[in-house]
Chains A and B, each alone.
Chain A
Amino acid sequence: MRQDASSCSLIRTFSTRGADPHPPEMSRHSKLQKQVLALYRQFLRAGKEKPGFIPRIRDEFKENSRIKKTDVMHIEYLYRRGQRQLEQLRDVNTKQLGSFSKGKEPG
């Protein structure tokens, strides 16, 4: 999940010890961003064996990536909720994710 270019504040850090591993358009991830990325990774690993979870995990994180990075309260709330959902996903009794969808009449 990367910052979109419009909101990145360009703090050019030119390391004197060598080339900066991060290109100038993207500063280093903030601590919260790193936590969210770590959570995403853990989710993907946990959901590998159980059908239906990976697409939903991707959808949720993609949807929530639209939240502004300044809206820390919201992000932290979703992060805490995500941790609880991750625990549930890891539980051996959770088997698969399906969905009930309401759509148009097939025809």
Chain B
Amino acid sequence: MATVRAASCLLSKRVLSNSKAVPAAAVQGYRNFHFSIYGKKNNAKVADDISTQYPVVDHEFDAVVVGAGGAGLRAAFGLSEAGFNTACVTKLFPTRSHTVAAQGGINAALGNMEEDDWRWHFYDTVKGSDWLGDQDAIHYMTEQAPAAVVELENFGMPFSRTEEGKIYQRAFGGQSLKYGKGGQAHRCCCVADRTGHSLLHTLYGRSLRYDTSYFVEYFALDLLMEDGVCKGVIALCMEDGSIHRFRSQNTVIATGGYGRTYFSCTSAHTSTGDGNAMVTRAGLPCQDMEFVQFHPTGIYGAGCLITEGCRGEGGILINSEGERFMERYAPNAKDLASRDVVSRSMTIEIREGRGVGPDKDHVYLQLHHLPPQQLATRLPGISETAMIFAGVDVTKEPIPVLPTVHYNMGGIPTNYKGQVIDHTNGEDKVVPGLYACGEAACASVHGANRLGANSLLDLVVFGRACALTIAEEHKPGEKLSPLKPSAGEESVANLDKLRFANGSLRTSEIRLNMQKAMQNHAAVFRTGSVLEEGCGKLDDIYQSMEKIKTFDRGIVWNTDLVESLELQNLMLNAVQTINSAEQRKESRGAHAREDFKDRIDEYDYSKPLEGQQKKPFDEHWRKHTMSYVDPKTGKVTLRYRPVIDHSLNEQECAHVPPAIRSY
């Protein structure tokens, strides 16, 4: 038996020299699966009764983009514009991606409402990230912001306008003038309160001008990695159950976040962190997974999002005493403080007994003091959302809100150019052939906390950056490096195992267990003992995946199978999140620990720096977490990587040294 295996291993090492060559023989592989060219049964070793056969279509492209949301579409048509033969593989129709749900706006220092400078935006973003953001990437993003917004406007995005016809910019959380000393800045360009919807539809419309090949309703299973180089993606066509391998020199991951690891979130059911999981299974790290943003105003009960733009237009948060409690927690910015500050303040108010409702477990967002005309022009979408999901008329009553999981600051680590990196031997090393952008990536522009309206900016800037980097480093029509004929076998074996799974627990049960565990143990405020208990529970739930049971044995439109694959992806994201959170013994940005209330940097920035000893790397926490998971056991390994503190050009834009963060 072992000798047969060894012999066939030798067989499989016969690597193809020509990318178009056809393997003549069947190659023995992983767990009883073997690859062969369809129909060629000339190898005596192939058994007579093939119990299950998965046809695999091979495609070759110059670049493959996984995900067709804001970032994916921008990268895809950026690449097509540069002449690359591009494929865009997406499990949803492009206009159904979660980008469509974004409400608030895009930050850019256009200076339409008052004098503005992108360096002030840079300062606000670095401060918002609690000095965990990489300042070179933030420099890149904030400098490109005005050009990105003007480009969108030229694509036809219907921004709201001022009286003079310029793009209307509203106030948004965490935005200030003159490096925090000049009061509230108005730099969030918006389309009423439906910016994400307009952005996605504009990008989709624009993308149709180029000849990108769209593979819609194809679920990407795994990356095709060989010798640490990414050579493509393997995906399942949901319509007919065929497997497709997309070979390419350049793969861009833009698959979005993983809000669905939590019970209550503002994310779509399809936000399942597929890209993060694919990268984890390839043995690469994910960065800063413990930083999960709780948006202050999600509707109580339904979890639907009420944009920060409401507070930007003048809405206020009130407790059971009718008090505008944010004045106590953030005297300057008040309701427009950074989101983590507001979420924590709301949670403290509720804990101290000043919550509203029969259970006193939420607060109110009051908008009825604003002129109804303003509500109708600037906030029509949320007016309707509040009526449908909370039964509230915003011109008369306040909306019941609660902090809800909204965004994942963590994800696939990249440099400012969008290339995926791994941190080995104290240095950042680029993974050849792999890029990431959007919420799935962690560039890291958002650090420990994201400012509102920076995410849509992140999508378009880094989507374009990935396309530009690829265009710089490669040419269209480059020859593909050879790939093992049986590449992707493990993914198909896993698919087959899930398709015929016959354990004792349904997918929905395991998913609910995971969501409840995450919601209870890794919430706004976290404590060591609760996190540890959560890690234990998540580990048990991870092991319980062995007992999964699926019901649909077919291969065409098998949503049971796809949901189980998504659950596998969610589990990998969840274990990384909770383990990273348990290990990080400080409070920074969105990660607030009750037992470690302070931020632990290399110096104590609340005191003057002279005379202070710089703490060694192991003793402070101003560093990125890099988490690896062994998919078989669910064991998480953590390493750390330093934050990049220099900007791209110190003359143009000086970096911001750390300081105490208060609003």
Interface residues, chain A, with chain B CB atoms under 8 Å away: 51-56, 59, 81, 84-85, 88, 91, 93-107
Given A51-B22, A55-B38, A93-B59, 18 further pairs, Cβ under 8 A: A51-B37, A54-B39, A56-B55, A85-B240, A93-B213, A94-B57, A96-B58, A97-B37, A97-B56, A98-B37, A98-B55, A98-B56, A99-B54, A100-B53, A100-B488, A101-B26, A105-B1, A106-B47
The answer to whether B32 touches A53 (Cβ under 8 A) is no
Q: Is there an interface contact between B50 and A101, defined as CB atoms closer than 8 Å?
A: yes
* Shortest Cβ gap from A87 to chain B (Å): 10
Q: CB distance A103 to B213 under 8 Å?
A: no
Interface 1/0s, chain B 321-363, versus A by CB < 8 A?
0000000000000000000000000000000000000000000
Contact between A100 and B35, CB atoms less than 8 A apart: yes
- In whole Å, how far is B77's beta carbon from the nearest beta carbon of chain A? 17
Chain B 220-245: CB-based contact to A (< 8 A → 1; otherwise 0): 00000000000000000001100100
The distance from the CB of A93 to the nearest CB of chain B, in whole angstroms, is: 5
Q: Is there contact, CB below 8 Å, between A100 and B28?
A: no
Chain B interface main SS type: mixed
B-chain residues with CB within 8 Å of residue A94 when the two chains form the complex: 57-59
Q: Which 4 A-B pairs have the closest CB atoms?
A: A55-B39, A103-B47, A52-B38, A106-B45
Query: Which of A88, A97, A106, A107 has most B Cβ within 10 Å?
Result: A106
B242 to chain A, nearest CB (A): 8
Contacts of B55 in A (CB 8 A): 56, 97-99
Contact B61 A104 (CB under 8 A): no
Which A residues are in CB contact (< 8 Å) with B492?
A: 100
**B189-239 interface with A by 8 A CB criterion:** 213, 239
Contacts of B485 in A (CB 8 A): 98
Q: Kindly report which residue of chain B lies nearest to residue A98, judged by CB atoms.
A: B56
Contacts of A51 in B (CB 8 A): 22, 37
Question: Is there an interface contact between B35 and A99, defined as CB atoms closer than 8 Å?
Answer: yes
Complex CA distance for A52 and B22, rounded to whole angstroms: 10
Chain B residues within 8 Å of A106, by CB? 4, 8, 28, 45-47
CB distance from A55 to the nearest CB of B (A): 3
CB contacts (< 8 Å) of B28 on chain A: these are 106
Which of chain A's residues have a CB closer than 8 A to the CB of B488? 100
Interface size class of B (residues with CB under 8 A): 35 or more
Residue interface bits B506-542, CB-to-A below 8 A is 1, else 0: 0000000000000000000000000000000000000
The complex places the Cα of A102 from the Cα of B493 at a distance, in Å, of 9
List of B residues within 8 angstroms of A105 by Cβ: 1, 32, 47
In the complex, are the beta carbons of B38 and A56 less than 8 A apart? Answer: yes
Are A99's CB and B239's CB within 8 A? no
**Shortest distance from the beta carbon of B355 to any chain A beta carbon, whole Å:** 54
Per the 8 Å Cβ criterion, residues 32-80 of B in contact with A are 32-40, 45-61
Which residue of the partner chain, among B8, B36, B49, B87, contacts A98 with CB atoms under 8 Å?
A: B36
Contact of B33 among A59, A96, A102 (CB under 8 A): A102
Chain B, residue nearest A56 (CB) = B38
Interfacial chain A residues near B22, Cβ < 8 Å: 51, 96
Q: Chain B contacts of A100 at CB under 8 A?
A: 33-35, 53-54, 56, 243, 486, 488-489, 492
Question: Residues 2-17 of chain B: 1 if any A CB is under 8 Å from the residue's CB, otherwise 0?
Answer: 0010001000000000
Q: Kindly report which residue of chain A lies nearest to residue B62, judged by CB atoms.
A: A93
B59: A residues at CB distance < 8 A: 91, 93-95
A101 touches B33 (CB 8 A): yes
Q: In the assembled complex, how far is the CB of residue B603 from the closest CB belonging to chain A, in whole angstroms?
A: 55
Q: Which residues of B contact A53 (CB under 8 A)?
A: 38
Residue in chain B with minimal CB distance to A93? B59
Q: How far apart are B478's CB and chain A's nearest CB, in angstroms?
A: 14
Give a binary string over B470-497; 1 marks a CB under 8 Å from any A CB, 0 the rest. 0000000000000001101100110010
Contact A102 B52 (CB under 8 A): yes
Whole-angstrom CA separation of A105 from B29 in the bound complex: 11
Evaluate contact between B32 and A103: CB separation under 8 angstroms.
yes
- Chain A residues near B240 (CB-CB < 8 A): 81, 85
Q: Is the CB of A103 within 8 A of B50?
A: yes
